[in-house]
Structure 1
Amino acid sequence: MNQIHGKLPNLSTRSLVVVNLSSNLLSGTLPSFSPRLNGLYLSNNMISGPLSSLCATQIPHLEYVDISENLLSGELPNCWMQFKLLRVLNLGRNKLTGKIPSMLGNLKVIRILNLHGNKFSGELPSFENCTELAVVDLGDNNFSGKIPTWIGPSLINLVILRLRANEFNGIIPLTLCRLAIIHFLDLSHNNISGGLPHCLNNISVLADDSVGVNGLSVELVWKGIEIEFGENLVGMRGIDISSNYLVGEIPESITRLTNLISLNLSRNNLTGKLPENFGNMQKLESLDLSRNQISGHIPTSFSSLHFLGVLDLSNNQLSGRIPLSTQLQTFNASKYMGNPGLCGPPLSPNCPGDEATEDDHDKEHDNDGLISLKFFISTVLGFITGFWIVCGSLLLKSSWRYAFLKFLDNAKDWIYVRAVVYKAKLQRRLQR
């Protein structure tokens, strides 16, 4: 982590055990190194050329090699049998090409194999003898063929399997379900077809946190962002099989992955309904099922997903009301769009039929409650007010009272006269 520049000198005559010149401005090709070398750290420089010089000297004690993020090119040499103690090989983010030599599969104690971000091609050679492997990162290359079936039975100590952004095809082998302690499985951006294995609940993410991942470092796409995880890798639990050609339903067994934190199955051709027990995965922080053909309603158990920080269910065929919860209504409406039958907050204020129901309820409520109460109160107040305006005035002012009583007396006489006259007229008409 300085600004040392220039070319590396020949270090074969120096009795160096560890060489750490990472994160500088070094250029040129790799020189020869001391036979006593145990650790070589040259990452994040501008070193170019092939790796063949690494084979020029016998280095029987070499355990750690990190020449990632440089400009190395050409194919991998086939001299790996001399590095029988090699535990870490990180050549990520270079310009290496060609196929992986089969000799690499004879490194029985290797723990980290990181070749991501190169231009390797062809099918994977067998790593069945590399039973100590904890991290295999072959992402962002041009590997092809089917995902090997030996990965599950042989690599029983695997914690990270990252085959992202290659050209793997075929189905997901059921043997992957035997990766009992895997923390993160990334098969995204390939040409994988078929359905999701129903044995996924045996995979991984139910592993105990006591599984040792100390000293490991790997870049993972976490909540849509590529992040390098080191010590905090111990808490990661994720499955990413997005951007493939998966078909069929999401198996109910996936809901038994109760320690799963991130699940991304977006951009596939998944159909059917969502498992009703999805809420069992209460530790989920990131869930992306967008751009599939999933139908039916969102299970009410989604309300139990209290730790969701990332959610995307857009562009499916979901319908019905979005369940109410402390989390589901906090996401942007765009995370639910593209589902013509889906309704409710935050996508829409109401669902079809809600307005009519509310109007009917309001009318019923008004008729039986508020309007009746208001009418009763206004009637009583009106009566009291009118009573005191009329009667109070008559009681307080004698001249008004005399005039009112005289008016009533005259009105009584007038009514009597009119009644007698009307009665006489009616009798005459009947006689005629």
Structure 2
Amino acid sequence: MKTSSLSILTLSIFLFLSLPSLSLAERCNPKDKKVLFQIKKDLGNPYHLASWDPKRDCCDWYVVECDPNTNRINALTVFQANISGQIPAAVADLPYLETLVFRHITNITGTIPEAISKLVRLKTLRLSWTNLTGPVPASLSNLKNLTFLELNFNQLTGSIPPQLAQLTNLGAIRLDRNRFTGEIPEEFGKWTGSVPDLYLSHNQLTGSVPKSLGNMNFSTIDLSRNKLVGDISFMFGKNKSTQSADYSRNMFEFDFSKVKEFPASLVSLDLNHNKIMGSIPASLTKVDDLRAINVSYNRLCGKIPTGGNLQSFDVYSYLHNKCLCGAPLPAC
């Protein structure tokens, strides 16, 4: 009798262990799995997503991650993939997403899906190095938990939505290398919460920089290669903690000598290819950590102040000014 019972127990254990692992411990939420299959279908079932097999736990699939506490999909990261088509609106049906990335995929086209604004848990949104076109949906301002927004290296057009300034947790916002037109939103100078690193370079922005931006303490600001005009002397100041400022290749026109103080934290300053006049302020010699400066192709005059790091840069940092002189340029 004991032998018979032992045999039955042994057989039961064998049968139990012989069952497919999928039925033993399927972590992936079935709703998320269904959505992922829809995303795969909408992208044309690409080889990049070959691991998305119904017989496997979707928490183990390529380019997705599951939250260990909820077992819900919290990251979809598609990078350098041979994928064509549009970003599926179905991504918005993964309500626990915290990271959404479509990056370095030149065959991704179409517009940014408005539905993404439903992903209120999203912290990182990177849609970059693609061929996305059209405007940035103003509704992205609903993503209050975003800490990083990257939409650069695309073909996006239209004006920059001022509503993006409502994203108070951003550490950085990258809108550079697109085809944005219009002016920099006044609201970008009224950011509450953390002040993000701001990248707006390589667009077609026009007008003057809003005075309100002078109230912001940007650690990094890059407005280069646009069509901006006017006086930006208000963007400097001793009480700021700016490390990198790039205003090059615009049409800024102001007297540089009006700038009396610079942030002690300044590491890099680029003002090349503008219409800046006057002389280089002597207060720049007090910026101890300055490692890069470029004021070439302006209308500056006078002697380059001696002291600090200003003589440590090569002539190319100062070339093609009206009457600038002194080391490293020829003597006055």
> TM-score, normalised to structure 2's length?
0.79
Provide the secondary structure at the position in 2 that maps to 1:103.
helix
Letter in 1 for 2:327: P
User: What 5-or-longer segments of structure 1 have no aligned partner?
Assistant: 1-10, 19-26, 44-58, 206-236, 352-432
Instruction: Specify which structure has the bigger relative contact order, considering alpha-carbon pairs within 8 angstroms and separated by 6 or more residues.
Output: 2
Tell whether 2:122 aligns with 1:122: no
* Residues 401-420 of structure 1 mapped to structure 2, 5 A cutoff: none
Alpha-carbon separation, structure 2, partners of 1:28 and 1:40: 13
Q: Which has the larger radius of gyration?
A: 1
> 139, 148, 156: which one pairs with 1:143?
156
Report the alpha carbon displacement of residue 82 of structure 1 after superposing the two structures with TM. 1.9
Alpha-carbon separation, structure 2, partners of 1:174 and 1:342: 35
Tell whether 2:329 aligns with 1:329: no
Checking the alignment, whether the CA contact within 8 Å between 2:220 and 2:243 is kept in structure 1 is: yes
Checking the alignment, whether the CA contact within 8 Å between 2:238 and 2:264 is kept in structure 1 is: no
- 2:47 corresponds in structure 1 to 28
Q: CA RMSD in A?
A: 2.6
Report the alpha carbon displacement of residue 279 of structure 1 after superposing the two structures with TM. 3.6
Relative to structure 1, is the Cα distance of residues 42 and 277 closer, same or farther in structure 2, using a 3 angstrom cutoff?
same
- 2:249 corresponds in structure 1 to 267
> TM-score, normalised to structure 1's length?
0.62
Relative to structure 1, is the Cα distance of residues 176 and 256 closer, same or farther in structure 2, using a 3 angstrom cutoff?
farther
Alpha-carbon separation, structure 2, partners of 1:261 and 1:338: 26
Checking the alignment, whether the CA contact within 8 Å between 1:36 and 1:61 is kept in structure 2 is: no
Checking the alignment, whether the CA contact within 8 Å between 2:48 and 2:82 is kept in structure 1 is: no
Alpha-carbon separation, structure 2, partners of 1:166 and 1:12: 45
How many residue pairs match? The answer is 285
Provide the secondary structure at the position in 2 that maps to 1:91.
strand
Checking the alignment, whether the CA contact within 8 Å between 1:38 and 1:63 is kept in structure 2 is: no
- 1:344 corresponds in structure 2 to 326
| 1:364-397 deviations in Å (ceiling 9; x for gaps) | xxxxxxxxxxxxxxxxxxxxxxxxxxxxxxxxxx
Tell whether 2:172 aligns with 1:160: yes
Report the alpha carbon displacement of residue 116 of structure 1 after superposing the two structures with TM. 0.7
Checking the alignment, whether the CA contact within 8 Å between 1:64 and 1:88 is kept in structure 2 is: yes
| 1:339-377 deviations in Å (ceiling 9; x for gaps) | 0210111111x21xxxxxxxxxxxxxxxxxxxxxxxxxx
Checking the alignment, whether the CA contact within 8 Å between 1:90 and 1:113 is kept in structure 2 is: yes
Provide the secondary structure at the position in 2 that maps to 1:72.
coil
Provide the secondary structure at the position in 2 that maps to 1:128.
helix
Checking the alignment, whether the CA contact within 8 Å between 1:60 and 1:84 is kept in structure 2 is: no
Report the alpha carbon displacement of residue 67 of structure 1 after superposing the two structures with TM. 1.5
- 2:266 corresponds in structure 1 to 284
What percent of counterpart residues are identical? 29
Report the alpha carbon displacement of residue 204 of structure 1 after superposing the two structures with TM. 4.4
Alpha-carbon separation, structure 1, partners of 2:234 and 2:80: 42
Alpha-carbon separation, structure 2, partners of 1:114 and 1:33: 26
Checking the alignment, whether the CA contact within 8 Å between 2:190 and 2:213 is kept in structure 1 is: no
User: What 5-or-longer segments of structure 2 have no aligned partner?
Assistant: 1-20, 30-45, 65-69
- 1:80 corresponds in structure 2 to 91
Relative to structure 1, is the Cα distance of residues 265 and 12 closer, same or farther in structure 2, using a 3 angstrom cutoff?
farther
Checking the alignment, whether the CA contact within 8 Å between 1:201 and 1:256 is kept in structure 2 is: no
Report the alpha carbon displacement of residue 104 of structure 1 after superposing the two structures with TM. 0.7
Relative to structure 1, is the Cα distance of residues 83 and 71 closer, same or farther in structure 2, using a 3 angstrom cutoff?
same
> 62, 68, 74: which one pairs with 1:63?
74
Relative to structure 1, is the Cα distance of residues 257 and 90 closer, same or farther in structure 2, using a 3 angstrom cutoff?
farther
Checking the alignment, whether the CA contact within 8 Å between 1:60 and 1:85 is kept in structure 2 is: no
Letter in 2 for 1:267: R
- 2:185 corresponds in structure 1 to 173
* Residues 234-273 of structure 1 mapped to structure 2, 5 A cutoff: 237-255=219-237, 258-273=240-255
Alpha-carbon separation, structure 1, partners of 2:273 and 2:246: 11
* Residues 363-402 of structure 1 mapped to structure 2, 5 A cutoff: none
Tell whether 2:40 aligns with 1:42: no
Relative to structure 1, is the Cα distance of residues 343 and 119 closer, same or farther in structure 2, using a 3 angstrom cutoff?
same
Report the alpha carbon displacement of residue 253 of structure 1 after superposing the two structures with TM. 4.4
Alpha-carbon separation, structure 1, partners of 2:327 and 2:130: 45
Letter in 2 for 1:290: N
